[in-house]
Structure 1
Amino acid sequence: MTGVKAAVTFVVYRGTAPKNWDEIVCGLGGSIYHSTIWAEYQKKRKEGQPIFLLGFDNNGLPCAGALALLKMSPYLIVSRLSCSLVLSTHPFTRDYDRNLSVAFMRKCEDYARSLGCIHMAIDSFLAGGSAYFPCDFGYRETRRLEFCVDLYASKEELWRNISRDQRERIRRLSREGVATEIGMERKDLKDLEVAREFTQAKRSQQGMGYDLPTSGEFYDAIYEYLIKRGVARLFLAKRGREILGAILFAAFNGRASSIFSGSTEFGYKLGVQSGLFWAAVESFKKEGFLELNRGGILESAANETDPLHGIYRFKQRLGTRPVVCRSGERILSPLRYRLLGFGSRILRPYL
């Protein structure tokens, strides 16, 4: 543990979270992406070494914090050229204070430099309420839209906000014999895997393919670190034993956020994602959650000519409101970055 004297006292905990970390996260409005469970999940997936960053005010009270992942090669020489510090999402701060966010981020950048990082990044999951705009501080910014529903509205109002065509799809599902359920066992994740694989194949045919982890270890980690520990819900749509679609939500501190989803060919035809969304709205509202987030997409999808505009329109028709979330990347050492680019062909197998 190290401390840095400043207007915000900055304290670093490498590897192990400080006592009551999750209580601090929840008290200051943080999300699953700041939690100890998410840190352990990312470590299991070998996404980096978790580092917990915490800021204290002049009274010694926590006022800001972030979960960071240190990404570096296992090869010493290469790691000194290429290590990066990545914040899992925007810092949580007391009262969403912009000045506090700026001061805390500067401390994060100073810490990254002290580690010898060449690069720093900040992700934007559930960061729609953040007052920190990376582009104002030298970051190359990417904007995403996340689609949110405020669950404090009445069930009747939430239903009315869904477009008429989507409401009819939801009603039709029961007539077609489709039922939704929550999967809590490891075997249920096989259904998610099947649905995701079909969706990935469909997108690839449309020229919008993406990488999809297929190893059993990937789904083992989801079960052991998220579902089994009560911070994820897997919603499944089936007709009999046939899987038609699935959505996995992270659920933490009153906010539910979809992480993975997919549908089979017949599931697409029936529109089961609409039914799964409504099932999640009903379930999380009943549990007292305040917000449901149906996931994100690049901001460019709002343009009618964008290949992903159909997904944008679908999520809007569910009665959601699009919220801008800003991620960013910044080069901390331009000279070493140029050297890395020059030698990338040689070093790539070791990065």
Structure 2
Amino acid sequence: MSLEGQGKQVLEVFRGRLPEAWNAQLLKLKGGYYLSAEYADIQKRDGSEPIYFILREAGEISGMALGFLTRQWMRWPGRQLCREFHWQTHPVVRDDDVARLEAFVDQIVAHVDAIGVLGFHLHSEDARISPRHLDKNAYACRSRLEYSIPLSEDPAEVMARIASRKRTYLRSAIKSSLLEVREEATLEAVSKLIDFQEVSRDRRRKRGEDYAISAPSAAKRIFEDYIQSGQGKLFLSYQEGVPLSGILLHCWGGRAYYTMSGCSEAGFSANAPLLTVWCAIQALCRQGYVELNMGGVGASGADPADVSHGLYRFKRSFGGNEIECYTYERRSTGLRAQLGELLLKR
């Protein structure tokens, strides 16, 4: 562990070693899955080295962050020269204080710069707040919108927060639907969801969109890392026994995050994406979850002329609170970075 001070704030850094009671402290700050010890274990198995950061003020924990040094599977000197730093979500801080967050991020970036990395990838999935102060000349910045749905024991309360027109449409779809939605926990269900992803991507490609999807070979790993471990839930919709649509949620600490989805052509005709999400919301309410984050869409999707406007409308249609998220990327310069780039090209 290393200690670095800045005024009344002290940064504690744990490289490759899980701090004591990490998850328990994270829950106190209402941090999410992408900051958890479970997520760190998954990244470690993929060859990244976790770095845990704790911000203390007057001895009390006021912030927590989880980042990774990538390509640690490489031999020396590659693991030093080619490593990059990434996190999947921004740090969580007490009271969602933006000034506290930005000071915390500055300390982390300074520490990582001193270690030496080829680049930074500071993602914003499931981030409650995002830093906005990073130098736009040094970092490429992308703006995203996420929609966080508060859940309660009674799904009717969630339904009541949906816009009136959409609520009427959803109730009509529920009444006329012949779909059955089930929570599945099998490798076969994961494989089917990946198949549906390909169909969904093909539809969006026809509109000029594109995005990465999981390869069929990833099904076993996804099943083991999320379903079998209890860190995820998968829902499939069926009509007359035939699967039509599915979603995968990362679940941790009473909160769920919409991670993967896909639908067959027949499923789109049967309103399966809408009904699958609603039935998942009902299940989460029964199981005591307090939040479902519908995941993100590029901020440009708010423009009706944008190709992602349909996805934007879908994600916001369930009455969630809009969260503006900022993702940052930066490439390093200098001789060390040049050597790293050369090694990657070999």
Q: Same fold (TM over 0.5)?
A: yes
The more displaced of 293-302 and 100-109 is: 100-109
Is 2:121 aligned against 1:121? yes
The more displaced of 23-32 and 149-158 is: 149-158
Q: 1:185 to 1:146 in 2, by over 3 A?
A: same
Q: Paired residue for 1:68?
A: 67
- What is the distance in 2 between the residues matched to 1:170 and 1:247? 20
Q: Paired residue for 2:146?
A: 146
- What is the distance in 1 between the residues matched to 2:120 and 2:315? 31
Tell me if structure 2 keeps the 8 A contact 1:150–1:291: yes
Tell me if structure 1 keeps the 8 A contact 2:195–2:216: no
- What is the distance in 2 between the residues matched to 1:163 and 1:281? 18
Is 2:249 aligned against 1:255? no
Tell me if structure 1 keeps the 8 A contact 2:194–2:216: no
- What is the distance in 1 between the residues matched to 2:45 and 2:232? 16
Q: 1:215 to 1:76 in 2, by over 3 A?
A: farther
Structure 1 position 171, deviation (Å)? 4.3
Partner amino acid for 2:178? G
- What is the distance in 2 between the residues matched to 1:276 and 1:263? 10
Q: 3-state DSSP class of the match of 2:257?
A: strand
Q: 3-state DSSP class of the match of 2:319?
A: coil
Q: Paired residue for 1:335?
A: 334
Partner amino acid for 2:318? L
Structure 1 position 94, deviation (Å)? 1.6
Tell me if structure 1 keeps the 8 A contact 2:11–2:54: yes
Tell me if structure 2 keeps the 8 A contact 1:170–1:274: no
- What is the distance in 2 between the residues matched to 1:82 and 1:302? 37
Tell me if structure 1 keeps the 8 A contact 2:129–2:323: no
Q: 1:264 to 1:215 in 2, by over 3 A?
A: closer
Q: Paired residue for 2:232?
A: 232
Q: 1:45 to 1:270 in 2, by over 3 A?
A: farther
Correspondence list, 1:148-187, <5 A = 148-152=148-152, 155-160=155-160, 161-162=162-163, 164=165, 167-168=168-169, 171-172=172-173, 175-187=176-188
Structure 1 position 281, deviation (Å)? 1.6
Q: Paired residue for 1:195?
A: 196
- What is the distance in 1 between the residues matched to 2:85 and 2:42? 17
Q: Paired residue for 2:273?
A: 273
- What is the distance in 1 between the residues matched to 2:292 and 2:242? 27
**Over residues 56-81 of structure 1, what are the superposed CA-to-partner deviations in whole Å (9 max), with x where a residue is unaligned?**
2232x322111101123725345544
Partner amino acid for 1:330? R
Partner amino acid for 2:212? D
**Over residues 27-75 of structure 1, what are the superposed CA-to-partner deviations in whole Å (9 max), with x where a residue is unaligned?**
11110000011112223344x222212222232x322111101123725
- What is the distance in 1 between the residues matched to 2:87 and 2:206? 33
Instruction: Report percent identity of matched pairs.
Output: 25
Q: 1:203 to 1:334 in 2, by over 3 A?
A: same
Q: 3-state DSSP class of the match of 2:187?
A: coil
- What is the distance in 2 between the residues matched to 1:167 and 1:221? 40
- What is the distance in 2 between the residues matched to 1:304 and 1:156? 30
- What is the distance in 1 between the residues matched to 2:18 and 2:337? 35
Q: 1:215 to 1:274 in 2, by over 3 A?
A: closer
Q: Paired residue for 1:245?
A: 245
Q: 1:84 to 1:69 in 2, by over 3 A?
A: same
Consecutive unaligned residues in structure 2, runs of 5 or more: none
- What is the distance in 2 between the residues matched to 1:81 and 1:13? 21
Tell me if structure 2 keeps the 8 A contact 1:13–1:51: yes
Is 2:324 aligned against 1:324? yes
Q: Paired residue for 1:296?
A: 296
Is 2:211 aligned against 1:210? yes
Q: 3-state DSSP class of the match of 1:324?
A: strand
Structure 1 position 267, deviation (Å)? 0.6
TM-score for the superposition, normalised by structure 2: 0.89
Consecutive unaligned residues in structure 1, runs of 5 or more: none
Structure 1 position 291, deviation (Å)? 1.6
- What is the distance in 2 between the residues matched to 1:242 and 1:336? 58
Tell me if structure 2 keeps the 8 A contact 1:81–1:336: no
Tell me if structure 2 keeps the 8 A contact 1:148–1:322: yes
Partner amino acid for 1:57? E
Q: 1:290 to 1:16 in 2, by over 3 A?
A: same
Q: Paired residue for 1:223?
A: 223
Structure 1 position 320, deviation (Å)? 2.9
Structure 1 position 257, deviation (Å)? 1.0
Q: 3-state DSSP class of the match of 2:307?
A: coil
Q: 3-state DSSP class of the match of 1:288?
A: coil
Q: 3-state DSSP class of the match of 1:258?
A: strand
- What is the distance in 2 between the residues matched to 1:107 and 1:31? 21
Structure 1 position 185, deviation (Å)? 2.1
Q: 1:131 to 1:338 in 2, by over 3 A?
A: closer
Structure 1 position 227, deviation (Å)? 1.7
Q: 1:315 to 1:256 in 2, by over 3 A?
A: same
Structure 1 position 206, deviation (Å)? 2.9
Q: Paired residue for 1:98?
A: 98
**Over residues 200-244 of structure 1, what are the superposed CA-to-partner deviations in whole Å (9 max), with x where a residue is unaligned?**
22223333222323143x222222222222221111111133111
